[in-house]
Amino acid sequence: MSHSSALRRFGYSTAALAALLLAAAQPAHAQEESTDRGGDSVLQVDDVRSLARQLGVSLDDNRPEDQFETTMFGRPLIVGGELEAAGQWRDNLDLTGEDGVGKLTPEAQLEFLYLFSDRLIAFAEVKAFVDSEVWTETGDGESDAGLDLREAWVLAPRLFGSDFSLQVGRQQYQDRREWWWNENLDSVRLHYVQGRFTAFLGVAEAQLRTSTLEDISPEDEDVTRYLGNAAFTWTRHDRLEAFLLSQQDHSGAPAINAVLDEDSQDEADSDLTWVGLRARTRQSIGDAGKVFLSGDLAMVDGDETVTEFADFAPGQIQAVDRFSQDVSGWAADVSVSWEVPIDLEPVASIAFAYGSGDDTPSNGSDDSFRQTGLQGDNGKFRGISRFRYYGETLRPELSNLRVLTLSLGSPAPAPGEGEAWIEAVFHNYAQAEASTDFRSERLDVGPNGVDEHLGDALDVIYSFESGRRWEFEATLGSFRYGDAFGANRGEWAYSASFKLDYNF
């Protein structure tokens, strides 16, 4: 098939998906909340408080029902949030043994929900944070503190008595697995809710600096995004979704030989479109227990201009080369979890994820899948706490990558009347096509481009919660370098983290 034919077919599928996102379904089910712990729920536009919580509060967080409530100008004002003590440690992610760092990262979040009326509500979330390097291998620790306006939006539910609701402002986009997005975006979004069918279509572009420490990132400046989702939930555990994300980058590339501040570096100007489907279901297998199945499938297509930079002076870089390329790729992620029918009801899971690679890197196109840039890759199988399901230490992007995951989780001893869960997760990583490029949130060294096997990882996650007030999570992670790192094969990198939250 020619590239132009593929583009036409991709365009037709995008148009069909966009039509689906705006279609009005009329299911026969009554409208009621359907929630899976840390998962999806059917929006309740008739209960504006529940609606605000679903749209404003992260899936990682719980909030108690009895939050502080007062009145302002005769209308209800609800105040809540969380206090968090947290820390992280990691070591040897650059194979020098000198990159070890330990951080304390406490946070405090305040959330304000104001009910102008049943037809207009406002929500805001402000975070105060500290990022303090309390230990480094080199002894050169740094500390920062600041404020971040995470969300600030208004919502008009049931516009003119219809099934549409309009949300305007800085708002949260988060899907169940954060495979597509987990970001707060300046956006206008139209929601549609009819029974167990929900959909939204949003337009987002960064408008204002929201952090006292950081400006709008160069990668997000002058980038317009169109985001869409349509979902049908017919039982508590059965759901089918369609996703759409299209972005146009209007920022423009610097002139060759131009000298910039290193904080202004923007390597790629990309006009890309992602489309995809997700399905999940639960099936009883009689005396053998229950199985939970989930699957994601996505395609990306478009073009981009890539600028290469070189160091020029301390704090400065210079644009030295530029090229354009077509982009196309695909990815799939499937998992099966088995709830074993014994007293503790442990859960065994197996998952496989694949992101296409580029087997002809010199032909002016890139066939490697890349995720949306908004993803968090944070979810879970059946336990309490959400974790980085592609690995806590490496945190790779699903691009030119194969990941085989095995997991075993079980309820664990818990203090007081709370409940706890412990889970061991193994990952095996390999590139789809051997390459010296590897997209990872943390790894600071590249593979050799000859061998595909990147290595293996083992994570252990313990989580605890008591009611909707207290949450605790501790994670230990390790990564063993594979053949793709040549003489460093068999070296280890490590990570650890914890957080303790009090919700109010």
DSSP state of 253: P
Query: In this predicted structure, what is the pLDDT of residue 236?
Result: 81
Q: Average pLDDT, stretch 250-267?
A: 90
Residue that is written with structure tokens 């408080």 in the block: 49
pLDDT per residue over 371-426, tens digit each? 999 999 999 998 898 999 999 999 999 999 999 999 999 999 888 889 999 999 99
Q: How confident is the model at residue 201 (pLDDT cuts 50, 70, 90)?
A: very high
Q: Are 292 and 348 in contact (CB under 8 A)?
A: no
85 vs 9: which has the higher pLDDT: 85
Task: Please determine, looking at this structure, whether the domain spanning 3-503 carries the CATH number 3.40.50.720.
Answer: no
Average pLDDT of the chain, as a whole number: 90
DSSP state of 264: G
Among residues 224, 210, 381, 366, the alpha carbon closest in space to that of 293 is found at 381
Query: In this predicted structure, what is the pLDDT of residue 40?
Result: 58
Backbone Cα Rg of the chain: 23
Query: In this predicted structure, what is the pLDDT of residue 355?
Result: 98
Predicted confidence (pLDDT) at residue 35 exceeds the cutoff of 90 = no
pLDDT per residue over 265-322, tens digit each? 888 999 999 999 999 999 999 999 999 999 999 999 999 999 999 999 999 999 999 9
Highest mean pLDDT among 91-95, 259-263, 342-346, 358-362: 91-95
* Whole-Å CA distances, 239 to 39, 100, 279, 361, 436: 11, 42, 6, 38, 39
Predicted confidence (pLDDT) at residue 108 exceeds the cutoff of 60 = yes
Highest mean pLDDT among 9-13, 25-29, 460-464: 460-464
Query: In this predicted structure, what is the pLDDT of residue 363?
Result: 83
Tokens for 81, please give them.
Answer: 């949030």
pLDDT per residue over 135-163, tens digit each? 999 888 899 999 999 999 999 999 999 99
Q: Average pLDDT, stretch 123-133?
A: 97
Predicted confidence (pLDDT) at residue 7 exceeds the cutoff of 50 = no
Query: In this predicted structure, what is the pLDDT of residue 10?
Result: 43
Query: Alpha-carbon distance 424 to 460, whole Å?
Result: 4
Query: In this predicted structure, what is the pLDDT of residue 128?
Result: 98
> Beta partners for 406?
350, 426
pTM across the whole model? 0.89
3-state SS track over 412-480: ECCCCCCEEEEEEEEEEEECCCCCCCCCECCCCCCCCCCCCEEEEEEEEEEEEEECCCEEEEEEEEEEE
Predicted confidence (pLDDT) at residue 324 exceeds the cutoff of 60 = yes
The Cβ-side half-sphere exposure at 4, using a 13 Å CA radius, reads 0
Residue that is written with structure tokens 């336990």 in the block: 383
Query: In this predicted structure, what is the pLDDT of residue 314?
Result: 92
Among residues 83, 89, 96, the alpha carbon closest in space to that of 133 is found at 89
Share of the chain above pLDDT 70, in %: 91
40-44, 96-100, 427-431: least confident range: 40-44
Spell out the domain ranges in the chain. Answer: 3-503
